[in-house]
Chain A
């Protein structure tokens, strides 16, 4: 039995639309696989060493909160990037995903700088993109569907064409409602607009993170979990949206 430690960045500020359900999901599944999982909250101006974590999670927040968080993250941006570039598993949802880019332009024209990890940018518009969404994603060399709910004013564009999106949109809007792309993927990092929360209904994505975390620890995850309810919930909404 091993103990995994996941950093929850700014839980007080960045927790919209049930995003903490992703952490509940990872924690429970790790327990069911026979391991322990601690979730450590990281708040504004707390001192952290990202190299001590097995994974990073950050949810969405409002514009105001995103600004606060940006300034705080910037203090340790180099250290964070070093870990992500070395393959630290990470999940960034919605507002957190937008922060990874070069800049964010709010609906009233204000420019907010991003961390600049990726050459992507977000322009916000009044009309929000809201609704259920289904993606096709490549996870462990397999194309699978991923379901969720999106609710964002921002339109995100992967400016660097070599950037890989998290998935392609089968139904819904995705990054911008134009180019069919959703989210971003880099090494073991996923940035995405999918709330819902993402992981409980997409156990393949949850297990992808779990296997990556374990591999970095030199541990093998053995056995499989009974995903009867997870698969049912996934299919239920997929059928509703794709109609098959």
Chain B
């Protein structure tokens, strides 16, 4: 009976996955939900087919990029693994991911499972799966978390991992995670950055996690790497950053990321300090699995950004970069990356207020747009688009930009074209969730249209501007 139920659950879900593909949906949650109705133990059963290890990756920011990078490394090594893609990080989506990689009998072995999930889902997932490692990238409080929601989730995760054999991989630079070791008694691996040339000595205007997790005293920071991530100590109880097992050092951003992890040299086409953290976390996990340095280096160097994660388009001879922004923290990260790029820029910001974006657009006032409103950021033009293009334009105006360089084009296509019409060396497209895919479609189309077949013989010709 058990076997029949399992096979039925898998068959039904596989059929639904096929059907949803046929109709152009990215069948993610629904097939898993149906399978779980038929066989509530399906995830437990399929989870037992993982021969090596299950990894769970969670945290407020960076979990998708980190998980994708680890996936790229496992792929490079040639391992087979289950991986739930972004957007399918609930228990149902994870069930779908397992079924996709399974055979009908539900007994095909996988070497690894790489599961990205929201913080609040970790306790649910641990009821059905037994991971070796839980990686927590960071905890950021954004405006929606000010009612103590984050503190509640942190203690739920702690309760769920206590009395297990799980090993935690934690960010040594985040004061909101360092007390996990003390509170859970689990073995913890720490990653973090040595001093870098990009550190600040004064924090941004925000109060995220600035208080000691042990005694509540306000922490003293020697330096900030990024937001509340940095080198800190507590003047009252003396707690400080834990000792690192994986140290990022000699960071350079040109703006592409170059640095070392325990003397392993890493290059990545990604930009921004927060992505350096994502890479560092991915390398830490790869080294825990025992993957060779060369494979890690090759995988990270070849890992290209995906939709909304600094994906690049070449439109004629213009370099366009698209970035998803969805909260003040993410927007601040993006602005920090823009600041490390010395090229002259034309900026596009599409702001929608659909449910998936958040109905309340006031979060743009919690981001430090002021940080890019100075001449060395080299911003030549700003085009605001989307349903709330007006709110976006006001935010830039009041951040200190001259109104003369701000254009409002609520229509996405018109906005994208207006942005590309500006004179600049690089074009940044910042999009909230529901403007992301529509904008991407337009950018892809423009990129295709302007890419002429390459001449077979390349005669030496002067670069652009010779007309």
Q: A residues bordering B, Cβ < 8 Å?
A: 12, 16-21, 24-25, 28, 61-62, 64, 130-132, 149, 151, 195-197, 200-201, 226, 228-230, 232-237, 240
**B362 x A196 contact (CB < 8 A):** yes
**B365 x A197 contact (CB < 8 A):** yes
B198 contacts the other chain (Cβ, under 8 Å)? no
The CA-CA distance from A19 to B389 in the complex, in Å, is 19
**A195 x B362 contact (CB < 8 A):** yes
The CA-CA distance from A31 to B141 in the complex, in Å, is 32
**A62 x B146 contact (CB < 8 A):** yes
**A232 x B390 contact (CB < 8 A):** yes
The CA-CA distance from A230 to B395 in the complex, in Å, is 10
The CA-CA distance from A229 to B384 in the complex, in Å, is 11
- Return the 3 tightest CB-CB contacts between A and B, nearest first: A233-B390, A18-B365, A18-B362
**B390 x A197 contact (CB < 8 A):** no
**B390 x A20 contact (CB < 8 A):** no
**B394 x A18 contact (CB < 8 A):** no
**A21 x B146 contact (CB < 8 A):** no
Given A18-B143, A151-B360, A236-B389, decide whether A229 and B365 contact each other with a Cβ distance below 8 A. no
Select one of A61, A195, A201 contacting B394, CB under 8 A. A201
Q: Mark B371-404, 1 if CB is under 8 A from A, else 0.
A: 0000000000000000111110111011110010
Select one of B364, B388, B393, B397 contacting A237, CB under 8 A. B388
Given A200-B394, A229-B393, decide whether A236 and B388 contact each other with a Cβ distance below 8 A. yes
The CA-CA distance from A16 to B147 in the complex, in Å, is 10
Select one of A18, A230, A234 contacting B363, CB under 8 A. A18
- Measured between beta carbons, the chain B residues less than 8 angstroms from A196 are 362
Interface residues of B, count at CB 8 A: 29
The CA-CA distance from A192 to B406 in the complex, in Å, is 31
- Measured between beta carbons, the chain A residues less than 8 angstroms from B314 are none
Q: Mark B391-433, 1 if CB is under 8 A from A, else 0.
A: 1011101111001001010100000000000000000000000
| A/B interface sample: 20 pairs, CB < 8 A | A18-B362, A18-B364, A21-B365, A25-B398, A62-B146, A130-B360, A131-B359, A149-B360, A195-B362, A196-B362, A200-B394, A200-B395, A226-B403, A229-B406, A229-B408, A232-B408, A235-B390, A236-B387, A236-B389, A237-B391
CB of A175, distance to nearest CB on chain B (Å):
19
Given A62-B147, A233-B394, decide whether A17 and B360 contact each other with a Cβ distance below 8 A. yes
**B360 x A12 contact (CB < 8 A):** no
B187 contacts the other chain (Cβ, under 8 Å)? no
Given A12-B207, A28-B398, A64-B148, decide whether A18 and B366 contact each other with a Cβ distance below 8 A. yes
- Measured between beta carbons, the chain A residues less than 8 angstroms from B207 are 12
Q: B residues bordering A, Cβ < 8 Å?
A: 143, 146-148, 207, 359-366, 387-391, 393-395, 397-400, 403, 406, 408, 410
The residue on B at minimum CB distance from A232 is B390
CB of A19, distance to nearest CB on chain B (Å):
8
**A240 x B387 contact (CB < 8 A):** yes
**A236 x B363 contact (CB < 8 A):** no
The residue on B at minimum CB distance from A22 is B365
Given A24-B365, A151-B360, A232-B408, decide whether A16 and B143 contact each other with a Cβ distance below 8 A. yes
**A233 x B362 contact (CB < 8 A):** no
The CA-CA distance from A228 to B406 in the complex, in Å, is 11
- Measured between beta carbons, the chain A residues less than 8 angstroms from B360 are 17, 130, 149, 151, 195
**A230 x B147 contact (CB < 8 A):** no
CB of B39, distance to nearest CB on chain A (Å):
36
The residue on B at minimum CB distance from A198 is B362
**A236 x B390 contact (CB < 8 A):** yes
- Measured between beta carbons, the chain B residues less than 8 angstroms from A18 are 143, 362-366
CB of A227, distance to nearest CB on chain B (Å):
10
CB of A136, distance to nearest CB on chain B (Å):
20
A200-B398, A229-B403 known; 14 new pairs, CB 8 Å cut-off, are A16-B146, A18-B362, A18-B363, A18-B365, A19-B365, A21-B365, A200-B395, A201-B390, A201-B391, A226-B403, A232-B390, A233-B393, A236-B391, A237-B388
The CA-CA distance from A206 to B406 in the complex, in Å, is 22
- Measured between beta carbons, the chain B residues less than 8 angstroms from A234 are 390
The CA-CA distance from A235 to B388 in the complex, in Å, is 11
The residue on A at minimum CB distance from B353 is A132
The CA-CA distance from A237 to B389 in the complex, in Å, is 10
The CA-CA distance from A216 to B199 in the complex, in Å, is 45
CB of A126, distance to nearest CB on chain B (Å):
13
Among B143, B363, B398, B400, the one with the most A-chain Cβ atoms within 10 Å of its Cβ is B398
The residue on B at minimum CB distance from A151 is B360
The residue on A at minimum CB distance from B366 is A18
The CA-CA distance from A17 to B393 in the complex, in Å, is 18
- Measured between beta carbons, the chain B residues less than 8 angstroms from A237 are 388, 390-391
CB of A98, distance to nearest CB on chain B (Å):
15
CB of B260, distance to nearest CB on chain A (Å):
37
The CA-CA distance from A131 to B360 in the complex, in Å, is 7
- Measured between beta carbons, the chain A residues less than 8 angstroms from B364 are 18
Among A201, A230, A236, the one with the most B-chain Cβ atoms within 10 Å of its Cβ is A236
CB of B335, distance to nearest CB on chain A (Å):
16
- Measured between beta carbons, the chain A residues less than 8 angstroms from B147 are 62
The CA-CA distance from A96 to B50 in the complex, in Å, is 54
**B148 x A62 contact (CB < 8 A):** yes
The residue on B at minimum CB distance from A61 is B146
**A229 x B146 contact (CB < 8 A):** no
